[in-house]
Amino acid sequence: MALWGGRFEGGVDAFTQEFGASLEVDKNMAQQDIRGSIAHATMLAEQGIISDEDRAAIVDGLTQISAEIEAGAFVWDVNDEDVHMAIERTLTERIGTAGARLHTGRSRNDQVATDIRLLAKDLCDELLESNHELRRVLADVAEANMDVVMPGYTHLQHAQPVLFSHHMLAYFWMFARDATRLEAARTAADANPLGAAALAGTTYPLDRARTTELLGFSRTIPNSLDAVSDRDYLLDLEYACAVSMMHLSRLCEEIVLWSSSEFGYITLSDSYSTGSSIMPQKKNPDFAELTRGKCGRVYGDLMALLTTCKSLPLAYNKDLQECKEGPLDAAHTLADCMAIMAGMLETMRVNEAVMLSQAGTGFSAATDVADYLAKHGMPFREAHAVVGHLVLECEKRGCGLEDLTLDELRAASSLFEADIVGSLDPAGIARARTTYGGTGNSAVAAQLAEARATL
């Protein structure tokens, strides 16, 4: 019989019981449920609501159950509706009446809300560790390739030469922002709903500040209705995961391109590649592609929860049982993808010569040639037009700006001198951009130091 079955004459249909159960998902927060129950029992005893003997029996029993769950020795009963009932039933079977007193002054509504908030905090902590490791790897890759020059792109067309390390650090800062979002999600979850009971509070003299302290929450939720019905913090977590997956997907797209024959900028480790069942020569960037694909899955988790919550009246509704699987999936998917990305980056080979050879193609020196004229007195808009005409002529002849003679350049503008050669060298072009945040070697070295400091 269900713990709530006293009001019912008939039994629950087997299918409806299975349909309404959430035990498999709930197992993920078994330890959080036990932490919440121990804090609740401790507070009840301190308030004189249950005896110290009952508290001791409850804490000892829950500690034993916790150890069994951790060791994989706990026997789950498929007839239990959820993890809360599974643990409470087992506890009561083992310690008797004391176990039945554990739920005094508590509803499953505030119990579930407490468990999920504790779980959300734990998930954020784990994701922040993974995020930190990925940023460390990005900084390491940047430092190991400080002098590698590659084409910078806009619209996936050659734009201006940049340092490969500068490109890697751009992703470092993306993931740094992701860490900020995860920290905000953790802060949102860090509030105690325990003591709100079903929706209206309770007549028992509970000390909610005490359970807030015992469970390590930073604050107590001031409204009992809001306490049991709020899942905004899970939306915050899923949004943080979705944005981070989007950043991973962007980087994966570049890895897929860079490892292709057309680019050849990097060579992935065999450990992060797969082959073909029919084409012996293939080395596919499957794990980058799979990470890119999983981005949509995490987006789906966010949209599912937004849709679930959009029309719910206060306070608790059974719809909210659907709020747990998505955040778990989003967090676990993101953690796995960050680990895959860190491994790919750490083991790939950067093909420096290929990148440098491509950095000089596609008229990537054009802006610096225009700047050369502007620095010699020509208005930049005029310089832009002069260099645009030179590019057009080069396209017609099938050559690059670097192939033009000084006489041919001077035919376009008498301001050109022999020192124009320095404005055509990809490494020199990159090295010259020394403003804060620029791609010049000294600027990137300063940026790397700043990135390291954030770690």
- Classified as helix, coil or strand, 267 is strand
Catalytic residue status for 389 = no
Query: Which is it for strands 219-220 and 191-192: parallel, antiparallel or unpaired?
Result: parallel
Say how many CA atoms lie within 13 Å of 357 toward its Cβ.
Answer: 7
Mark 297-309 as b/e (b = at least 16 C-beta within 10 Å): ebbebbebbeebb
Dihedral sign of CA atoms 222, 325, 310, 296 in order: positive
Catalytic residue status for 276 = yes
C-alpha separations of 310 from 214, 303, 307, 314, 415 in Å: 33, 10, 5, 12, 65
Dihedral sign of CA atoms 170, 172, 173, 177 in order: positive
Which listed residue (155, 261, 271, 311) is catalytic? 155
Angle between helices 164-189 and 441-454 in degrees, nearest 10: 20
* Structure tokens belonging to residue 103: 């739920």
Q: Which of 353, 375, 316 is nearest to 193 (CA)?
A: 316
Cα angle value 85/89/91 (rounded, 5°): 120
Which listed residue (51, 276, 389, 442) is catalytic? 276
Mark 11-32 as b/e (b = at least 16 C-beta within 10 Å): eeeeeeeeeebbbebbbbbbbb
Other beta carbons less than 10 A from residue 184's beta carbon: 16
Helix (H), strand (E) at residue 310: none
DSSP labels, 357-389 = HHHTSTTTTHHHHHHHHHHTT--HHHHHHHHHH
Measured in degrees and rounded to the nearest 5, phi and psi for residue 194 equal -60, 135
Residue with tokens 């734009």: 159
Q: How far apart are CA 407 and CA 103, in angstroms?
A: 91
Cβ partners under 8 Å of residue 387, min gap 6: 366, 369, 370, 373
**What type of residue sits at position 247?**
H
Cα angle value 409/412/413 (rounded, 5°): 90
Quick check: 441 and 146 in contact, CB under 8 A? yes
Catalytic residues, by residue number, are: 155, 276
